Amino acid sequence: MEDSSTLIDQRREKLEEIRQLGVDPYPYKYSPTHTTLEIREQFSEVGDQPDETKPVRIAGRIMTKRDHGKSGFAHLQDGSGRLQIYVRQNAVGKDAYQVYRKLDVGDVIGVDGPVFRTRTGEITVLVNEVELLAKSLRPPPEKWHGLQNKETRYRQRYADLMMNPEVRQVFINRTRMIQAVREYLNQDGFIEVETPILQPIYGGATARPFTTHHNALDMPLYLRIANELYLKRLIVGGFDRVYEFSRDFRNEGIDHDHSPEFTMIELYQAYADYEDMMCLTENLLAHTAQTVLGTTQITYKGDSISIAPPWRRLTMVEAIQEEAGIDVDALTDAELRQAVLDVGGDLEGVAPRGKLIAELFEAHVEPNLVQPTFIYDYPIEISPFAKKKRGSDRFVERFEFFIARMEMGNAFSELNDPIDQRERFTEGAKNQEDGAEDALMIDEDYLRALEYGMPPTGGLGFGIDRLAMLLTDQTSIRDVILFPQMRPERAD
């Protein structure tokens, strides 16, 4: 990172000059009275005469600077926006003005003075005192185009955020979205909990984990791929409604909607089933969109989408019938295999019927699900933690919901029969003999918990990052994660 630059050299020289003038370029504190936004609001009626009896103090980064001899304009940017300041030599004094002239775009300063409106109508602080709060040594990106280069934007998110207000808004909306979800669940009697990220046995999903090692215990540990099984232990323990925003880690590919480190929310509600979860899902997301965006009508990649309940609901079998005209129940195993081959599916090993059905669904239906849609009743073979559908041995009470062609979340009537659960584990663990790293690990402690008895429970999980993408109209998951994972830069 030691890239020599004359621009940086110049700023270091200025830093020394400022010190020579007796100014500390890195003081300890400043006490603003207002944010720039508060000034905009409180002084919206201000006239062209500054009211010296109502001085304000604001602090922020110099984003533009226009010097005019013995006066100058600049824009300060703080967390709430930008505001213009006007610095005049005969207001701040000659010495202070000398220091001000040495300041650069990028420097953080505090100013004190009254508010007025300039000839062109812009609300402006007429500065009586300037204080340098932090000297910037690295020149910021260009003021007009901002920072465009995607690689730099991801690697130096700080520069991206300071230059690109729309990026900042994406992340503010992400946070507000999380707050809206939390608020809704808290009001609905849910308790937010924290469960282990380091897990001795990973479970609750199928994915390859990140592996680490605990020295003192001398044992392997895994970064969680899901927190499902811990939350259900809490249901056994008597927390009837729990949720957790869970940073999960999956050692898989990276693309526009997959990140090795991502955020899910999982929630569990005792005495509920998957239909209750459908209602909760659509109401929760509608509330969230309404809170963050003020509407349930959103636009994503040019598609107009309504989040308002009720959402379309259809079973996986119905969906395949509708979109592909294929009645999977009428097909023999061989015909089903052929149907999968027809859509370019791969049939490694002995694919059970349920997997074939899911393949057909993914190929024919998933790409068409733009409006919010619940797809329910999944094949049992791909759903080891879901309870069998009432009256069926082949399907389970599970749904996933899709919006804008993205798989957003997953829910079940949770399997609470410990004997059935053990069989599902055993079935799933068979994959491990094939060396599959994402095979199910038998979690004996979880089975023990179920043996104590878990009430009937509805569970739901959905991807926070994907929801953030949807609500902020971003096409890549990296654009809703502040510091996306990147390969290291080459050391020069």
**Binders of RNA among 381-420, rule CB under 7 A?**
407
- Contact string 40-59 vs RNA (x = CB under 7 A): --------x-----------
- Footprint of RNA on 333-362 (CB under 7 A): 344-346
Q: Which stretch, 174-182, 272-280, 290-298, 470-478, contacts RNA (CB under 7 A)?
A: 470-478
Of these, 38, 129, 252, 275, which contacts RNA (CB under 7 A)? 252
Give yes or no for residue 152 binding RNA (CB under 7 A).
Answer: yes
End-to-end CA distance of the chain: 7
Q: Which stretch, 37-45, 116-124, 276-284, 323-331, contacts RNA (CB under 7 A)?
A: 116-124
Minimum distance, C-beta of residue 142 to RNA, in the bound complex (Å): 3
CB closer to RNA, 241 vs 372: 372
- Footprint of RNA on 419-458 (CB under 7 A): 438
Minimum distance, C-beta of residue 40 to RNA, in the bound complex (Å): 14
Q: Which stretch, 25-33, 235-243, 252-260, 416-424, contacts RNA (CB under 7 A)?
A: 252-260
Give yes or no for residue 253 binding RNA (CB under 7 A).
Answer: yes
Q: Which stretch, 211-219, 277-285, 307-315, 472-480, contacts RNA (CB under 7 A)?
A: 472-480
Minimum distance, C-beta of residue 44 to RNA, in the bound complex (Å): 16
Minimum distance, C-beta of residue 48 to RNA, in the bound complex (Å): 6
Minimum distance, C-beta of residue 16 to RNA, in the bound complex (Å): 13
Q: Which two tokens stand for residue 489?
A: 């830069």
Number of residues lying near RNA (CB under 7 A): 73
Q: Which stretch, 4-12, 176-184, 231-239, 302-310, contacts RNA (CB under 7 A)?
A: 4-12
Give yes or no for residue 119 binding RNA (CB under 7 A).
Answer: yes
Q: How far apart are CA 332 and CA 359, in angstroms?
A: 16
Q: How far apart are CA 152 and CA 149, in angstroms?
A: 5
Q: Which stretch, 151-159, 369-377, 389-397, 446-454, contacts RNA (CB under 7 A)?
A: 151-159
CB closer to RNA, 2 vs 346: 346
Give yes or no for residue 10 binding RNA (CB under 7 A).
Answer: yes
Q: Which two tokens stand for residue 85?
A: 């300041």
Q: Which two tokens stand for residue 421?
A: 């659960």
Minimum distance, C-beta of residue 371 to RNA, in the bound complex (Å): 19
- Footprint of RNA on 184-213 (CB under 7 A): 205-208
CB closer to RNA, 366 vs 397: 366
Of these, 265, 397, 463, 471, which contacts RNA (CB under 7 A)? 463
Minimum distance, C-beta of residue 20 to RNA, in the bound complex (Å): 14
Backbone angles phi, psi at 23, to 5 degrees: -110, 130
Q: How far apart are CA 305 and CA 310, in angstroms?
A: 13
Of these, 2, 28, 53, 144, which contacts RNA (CB under 7 A)? 144
- Contact string 67-106 vs RNA (x = CB under 7 A): xxxxx-x-x--------x-x-xxx-------------xx-
Decide if 59 contacts 32 (C-beta within 8 A): yes
Q: Which stretch, 128-136, 140-148, 165-173, 232-240, contacts RNA (CB under 7 A)?
A: 140-148
Neighbour count for residue 18 (Cβ, 10 Å): 19
CB closer to RNA, 34 vs 250: 250
Q: How far apart are CA 324 and CA 365, in angstroms?
A: 8
- Footprint of RNA on 159-188 (CB under 7 A): none
Of these, 16, 95, 122, 183, which contacts RNA (CB under 7 A)? 122
Minimum distance, C-beta of residue 350 to RNA, in the bound complex (Å): 15
Decide if 266 contacts 245 (C-beta within 8 A): no
Neighbour count for residue 96 (Cβ, 10 Å): 19
Of these, 199, 259, 413, 457, which contacts RNA (CB under 7 A)? 259
- Footprint of RNA on 305-334 (CB under 7 A): none
Of these, 60, 110, 141, 354, which contacts RNA (CB under 7 A)? 141
